[in-house]
Structure 1
Amino acid sequence: MTASITDVQHALGARLAALARIVELGTGRADQASLTESAQLLVRAGDRLRLSPDHTVVALAGGTGSGKSSLFNSVSGLELSPTGVRRPTTARTHACVWGLDGAGPLLDWLQIQWRHRFARASALDKGESPLHGLILLDLPDHDSIRALTDTEADRLIKVSDLVVWVLDPQKYADASVHRRYVTELAGHDAVTVFVLNQSDRLTPEEREICVADLRELLADEGVGGPRVVVTSALTGDGVDDLKAVLAESVAARRAAFQRLEADLDRLMVPLAKDVSDIPRVEPVVDDARRAGLIDALCDAVGVSALGEAMENVYGVRSVDWVGWPYARWAARLRPDPLSSLRLGDVKEEIRSLVGSAVSAQPAEVDNAVQALADGLTPGMPEVWQAGVRDAARSRSAQLPATLSDELSQIAPPLDRVPGWWWLLKIWQYLLVVLFVAGVAWAGSILAYGVLDLGKAPAEILGDVGVLPWLALMIASVLGLGALSGMASRNFVVLGAANERDRLEKDMRRRVSTVAEEMVIAPVETELRRYNDYFGAVAAASRK
């Protein structure tokens, strides 16, 4: 079943939209010459589809002496294009229009001069002629001396809906035609017609030989099933056959779409080369590689070292709160090995450590980013692998400094004292008070009850019988103090580990945020671009 004009137009529109995506996404990745040609085709297609769809532009092209202008006059039925012995005869393009309504903007776009525009003004021009809607162009001779400096013929051959190549028996194998045009238009079979003109110069046998030879020559150049019409502008033989071909094209009103489709097919050959073998990739970085990148960046900025430093600082600070006071007071009599830590400035020390760790490890940061890119690109074309690597490194220069700034904002809560530290300190100082009170009581008993140095202020302060119980109480207080001191050290170790975990998790979260913004997001954008590009190539290549 033949598709309707609307279906053909929609299919072509979808392919052109895909081509626009190729131009947009392929910059820096695909062949620049092909992208430039693609952009030119998009402009040309947009202009042509916007202009009159009721007219079919047919270009008569040929070399000097092929009888092109005579054939133009024969088809139009008017003496419009000059003919003669002088070469080249046609210096500027002449146009004959069947049905002027709506043709003006299209002729302006074709850049046909007003004095070279002609209309078929007859009763048949009211829409009843089979050629109604035809714009027939007589192009300048493509091989003339003038054509070497005037690209009008080349330009119009590229934008015409249907090209009719007028060849003569002597030069139908002319290399300038085949090399410059026919080979380039391979695949444009539906919008190309070959006319062997001046057949009156040939015998019937010679005519058959020439046609067979021309078909073989065209087949060798990639033109499959060429339409060949034999004419004689002088005698009129075959002119009606050519008119029938033109009328068929005009009636179908598909030539403009077919020409654009053929141009698009030819353009997609280099762009779609081996596209079926190109692997698609996941456009999202998987969790394993994401975690690997974050682990590597955490190593590069020394997260573990900072966590260990925080754990040690936590333990050192706890000595002033949960250590047994007597042991702490005794330690003060010895030189303090911790004074060099300058714990009052430890927050700035840790911030300085963060900054130095990041700035000192740019190579590790770069290796982490490189490892991520390499793990995502196996099987991709080299130019796209480079694109992923470039995307991963797009902000690598700022990455170490950004990590430093982020982690420097994490101030360990050195001014925060856990509640149990307060309770334990109160408990231990209560034991200290009880110990001092017990010792004072025991001294009173020894003074008043044993040594009889005087009368005790109160009977209980001189009662010798209380002394054993008092000694037991003092020993118990000392034991409780020592036991609580040892127990507190275990809780301090556990608390320090928790503080380290909290700090490392906070730092890892910030490293993850930076990695997501500065590495993973650009990489995922490039991966989506890769998939979208080859998806667009497949869509633009689909017929």
Structure 2
Amino acid sequence: MSRHSLVRESSQLQLRLEALNTARELAEGVLPDEELQSVYDVLERAASRRSLSAGHTVVGFFGATGSGKSSLFNAVSGSELATAAARRPTTSEPLAGIWGEDGSGPLLDWLDVKERHVLPPVSGFADADSGLVLLDLPDFDSTRVENREIVQRMVGMVDVLVWVMDPQKYADAAVHNDFLRPMASHGAVTLVVLNQIDTLNAPDAAAVLGSLEGILERDGLGMVRVLGASALTGDGVPAVRGAIRNVVAQRAATTQRLAADVAKAATGLSEVSGQGEARGIKGNARSRLASELATAANVPVVVEAVQRSFQRESARRTGWPVTRWLLRFRPDPLRRLNLGRSDTRPELSRTSLPPAGAPERARTDAAVREFADEASFGAPGPWRAAIRGAARDGRDQLPDALDQAIAGADLKTAKRPLWWPLFNTLQWLALLLAVGGLGWLGVLAALGYFQMPVPEVPRTEGWPWPTLMVAGGVALGVLLAITGRILGGWAARIRAAGAAKRLKAAVAAVAEQRIVEPVDVEITRLTAFNAALKAARPH
């Protein structure tokens, strides 16, 4: 593989690692911690491996007891290291055969391989500085827990996996179910060798190889190369060497291995998460939520109080002065709700609206649940639960937030219509006219009572002016009062409509802050998670 291709693949791997990490971060609190931890482990291993020697390719030999794995290791490496290793304590440790010692130390330290041997060149396979590391590993079916743990750890760390099988146990469920099938995404860095092929005749060998290939295809490893070999006779060993040599020569095994790890981790996240996008927040759903919350928060009660309060104040300002004082004994509907006051700070005040009862709470819960259900429709199960959870968390804060929003809403109670002063002035002039007429009549009556000369009063159409003044003043006052009541009712409805609009806007702002925005954050998080997961997978 050309240097340019290697750089391109490395750059693509970096982007996929970053995307996988983004997906992991976005999924925190939504997907199970153990799955996220496994993704984190993949990212940590990738970061560690990429920081170590890129000039070395680590090839691990894995096999069951009796598969001839160590013998094949010796045959391929042209050494007798594994034979010597058989005399080690039974708590076997990995053994490394190295071609190209420079730079291999930190890599083998990371792999925790203590027994290391620099091997001489093998013609047509490995030069002194080829950067190849062969690992002979314990049997994966060992009864010793330590051995199995070493194998499981190495499966996740070596660059190339060589699975050595024998004709008797090549279909063993343990290797296929526990190792090969979970590594189906690692076909590019996996090689399967059927050892001890010398124990079979040619037709049987072909049949066993065909059977093994079929099993591997069912494992998801249909593209993996399967070779027959005999460590005893040397038959097929050159082909195994050639396959390993080709991988090393391409210098892409490390990147391919890590890319396969990323693909596997992304697939795991996808399987746990599920597929799909949330429907999202639509305008009509947002409007329905605000409307339901406004009703549950007693906005209609406040709107009615605004209308009645304005009508009361209008009557006080424009009514007949003789009777308007009686309105002082009628409580202001807004004041009873602790609203419309100018002597308190709205952001600190609270209303005297009745606390939400069971019907109001049920209505609020239903509105929030319906909104969350509609917004999360189509989302995978865990994310739908997260979206609903965000809505539920906001719902718990709604009663106090809605009450404060209503208390802080500007109901325009301080605004006075321009016609109030005019009507008030006319009312007092009418009262003065009536009182003046009564005074005139009183003077005339007093003069007559004391038998004093009573002057002639002016008349119009036969009606004395004092009588006309009293009648005209009273009639004008009543007419102004009736007209003021009609105008006040019309203006009160306009004022109430304006208050309703502002109150609903205040409630909508609370709904946006407490419900809509948290839900939208979770929906956006899901969209970003899906995008990151897509970027982490192979293109």
Please give the range of the TM-score, normalised by the shorter of the 2 chains.
Answer: 0.7 to 0.9
Query: Structure 1's 211 and 345: CA in aligned 2 closer, same or farther, altered over 3 A?
Result: closer
Query: Structure 1's 496 and 69: CA in aligned 2 closer, same or farther, altered over 3 A?
Result: same
> Where does residue 26 of structure 1 map in the other structure?
27
CA distance in structure 2 between the aligned counterparts of 1:465 and 1:451, rounded to whole angstroms: 22
Query: Structure 1's 376 and 416: CA in aligned 2 closer, same or farther, altered over 3 A?
Result: closer
- Aligned residue among 175, 178, 181 for 2:179: 181
> Where does residue 226 of structure 2 map in the other structure?
228
> Where does residue 371 of structure 1 map in the other structure?
370
> Where does residue 135 of structure 1 map in the other structure?
133
- Aligned residue among 485, 489, 502 for 1:489: 485
Query: Structure 1's 4 and 412: CA in aligned 2 closer, same or farther, altered over 3 A?
Result: closer
**Secondary structure, counterpart of 1:100 in structure 2:** coil
- Aligned residue among 309, 312, 315 for 1:313: 309
Residue 475 of structure 1: CA displacement? 4.1
Query: Structure 1's 112 and 193: CA in aligned 2 closer, same or farther, altered over 3 A?
Result: same
> Where does residue 251 of structure 1 map in the other structure?
249
CA distance in structure 2 between the aligned counterparts of 1:502 and 1:381, rounded to whole angstroms: 43
Contact 1:130/1:251 (CA < 8 Å) preserved in 2?
Answer: no
Contact 1:435/1:474 (CA < 8 Å) preserved in 2?
Answer: yes
> Where does residue 14 of structure 1 map in the other structure?
15
Matching of residues 139-158 of structure 1 within 5 Å = 139-146=137-144, 151-158=149-156
2:535 paired with 1:516: no
Query: Structure 1's 455 and 202: CA in aligned 2 closer, same or farther, altered over 3 A?
Result: closer
**Secondary structure, counterpart of 1:184 in structure 2:** helix
Deviates more, 1:316-325 or 1:83-92: 83-92
**Secondary structure, counterpart of 1:421 in structure 2:** helix
- Aligned residue among 345, 356, 362 for 2:354: 356
**Secondary structure, counterpart of 1:372 in structure 2:** helix
Query: Structure 1's 205 and 179: CA in aligned 2 closer, same or farther, altered over 3 A?
Result: same
> Where does residue 119 of structure 1 map in the other structure?
118
**Secondary structure, counterpart of 2:135 in structure 1:** strand
Residue 298 of structure 1: CA displacement? 1.0
Residue deviations 1:392-441 (CA, integer Å, cap 9, x gap): 11132221122223323458676765553333222221222223323444
Residue 64 of structure 1: CA displacement? 3.2
Query: Structure 1's 170 and 439: CA in aligned 2 closer, same or farther, altered over 3 A?
Result: closer
> Where does residue 166 of structure 1 map in the other structure?
164
**Secondary structure, counterpart of 1:194 in structure 2:** strand
Residue deviations 1:344-370 (CA, integer Å, cap 9, x gap): 964638888643154662222212211
CA distance in structure 1 between the aligned counterparts of 2:288 and 2:251, rounded to whole angstroms: 60
Residue 480 of structure 1 aligns with an amino acid whose one-letter code is: L
> Where does residue 535 of structure 2 map in the other structure?
539
**Secondary structure, counterpart of 1:151 in structure 2:** helix
Contact 1:354/1:407 (CA < 8 Å) preserved in 2?
Answer: no
Contact 1:95/1:137 (CA < 8 Å) preserved in 2?
Answer: yes
Deviates more, 1:410-419 or 1:356-365: 410-419
> Where does residue 525 of structure 1 map in the other structure?
521
2:502 paired with 1:506: yes
Residue 253 of structure 1 aligns with an amino acid whose one-letter code is: R
> Where does residue 48 of structure 1 map in the other structure?
49
**Secondary structure, counterpart of 1:188 in structure 2:** helix
> Where does residue 100 of structure 2 map in the other structure?
99
TM-score by length of structure 1 reads 0.83
CA distance in structure 1 between the aligned counterparts of 2:231 and 2:32, rounded to whole angstroms: 45
CA distance in structure 2 between the aligned counterparts of 1:321 and 1:304, rounded to whole angstroms: 26
CA distance in structure 2 between the aligned counterparts of 1:59 and 1:517, rounded to whole angstroms: 56
CA distance in structure 1 between the aligned counterparts of 2:412 and 2:362, rounded to whole angstroms: 31
Residue 496 of structure 1: CA displacement? 1.9
CA distance in structure 2 between the aligned counterparts of 1:139 and 1:118, rounded to whole angstroms: 14
Query: Structure 1's 130 and 243: CA in aligned 2 closer, same or farther, altered over 3 A?
Result: farther
Deviates more, 1:48-57 or 1:177-186: 177-186
CA distance in structure 1 between the aligned counterparts of 2:182 and 2:504, rounded to whole angstroms: 60
Contact 2:315/2:488 (CA < 8 Å) preserved in 1?
Answer: no
2:36 paired with 1:38: no
Query: Structure 1's 67 and 339: CA in aligned 2 closer, same or farther, altered over 3 A?
Result: same
Residue 399 of structure 1 aligns with an amino acid whose one-letter code is: L
2:411 paired with 1:429: no
Structure 1, unaligned stretches of length 5 or more?
none
Structure 2, unaligned stretches of length 5 or more?
341-348
Query: Structure 1's 56 and 43: CA in aligned 2 closer, same or farther, altered over 3 A?
Result: same
> Where does residue 73 of structure 1 map in the other structure?
74
CA distance in structure 1 between the aligned counterparts of 2:93 and 2:459, rounded to whole angstroms: 139
CA distance in structure 2 between the aligned counterparts of 1:148 and 1:10, rounded to whole angstroms: 37
**Secondary structure, counterpart of 1:16 in structure 2:** helix
Residue 116 of structure 2 aligns with an amino acid whose one-letter code is: R
Deviates more, 1:517-526 or 1:137-146: 137-146
Deviates more, 1:475-484 or 1:296-305: 475-484
CA distance in structure 2 between the aligned counterparts of 1:308 and 1:385, rounded to whole angstroms: 39
CA distance in structure 1 between the aligned counterparts of 2:42 and 2:107, rounded to whole angstroms: 17
Contact 2:279/2:378 (CA < 8 Å) preserved in 1?
Answer: no
Residue deviations 1:320-341 (CA, integer Å, cap 9, x gap): 3211224548xx6xxx8x8363
Query: Structure 1's 374 and 238: CA in aligned 2 closer, same or farther, altered over 3 A?
Result: closer
Query: Structure 1's 436 and 538: CA in aligned 2 closer, same or farther, altered over 3 A?
Result: same
Residue deviations 1:81-103 (CA, integer Å, cap 9, x gap): 33487798792111122223322
Residue deviations 1:445-504 (CA, integer Å, cap 9, x gap): 6777x9995568xxxx64556774625555444443333222222221133223323432
**Secondary structure, counterpart of 2:81 in structure 1:** coil
CA distance in structure 2 between the aligned counterparts of 1:237 and 1:189, rounded to whole angstroms: 24
CA distance in structure 2 between the aligned counterparts of 1:56 and 1:497, rounded to whole angstroms: 83
Contact 1:131/1:246 (CA < 8 Å) preserved in 2?
Answer: no
**Secondary structure, counterpart of 2:191 in structure 1:** strand
Query: Structure 1's 462 and 344: CA in aligned 2 closer, same or farther, altered over 3 A?
Result: farther
Contact 1:445/1:464 (CA < 8 Å) preserved in 2?
Answer: no
Residue 371 of structure 2 aligns with an amino acid whose one-letter code is: L
Query: Structure 1's 180 and 425: CA in aligned 2 closer, same or farther, altered over 3 A?
Result: closer
**Secondary structure, counterpart of 2:96 in structure 1:** strand
CA distance in structure 1 between the aligned counterparts of 2:223 and 2:408, rounded to whole angstroms: 75
Query: Structure 1's 222 and 432: CA in aligned 2 closer, same or farther, altered over 3 A?
Result: closer
The number of residues matched between the two structures is 527
> Where does residue 110 of structure 1 map in the other structure?
111
> Where does residue 402 of structure 2 map in the other structure?
403
Residue deviations 1:229-255 (CA, integer Å, cap 9, x gap): 344444544333322222211111111
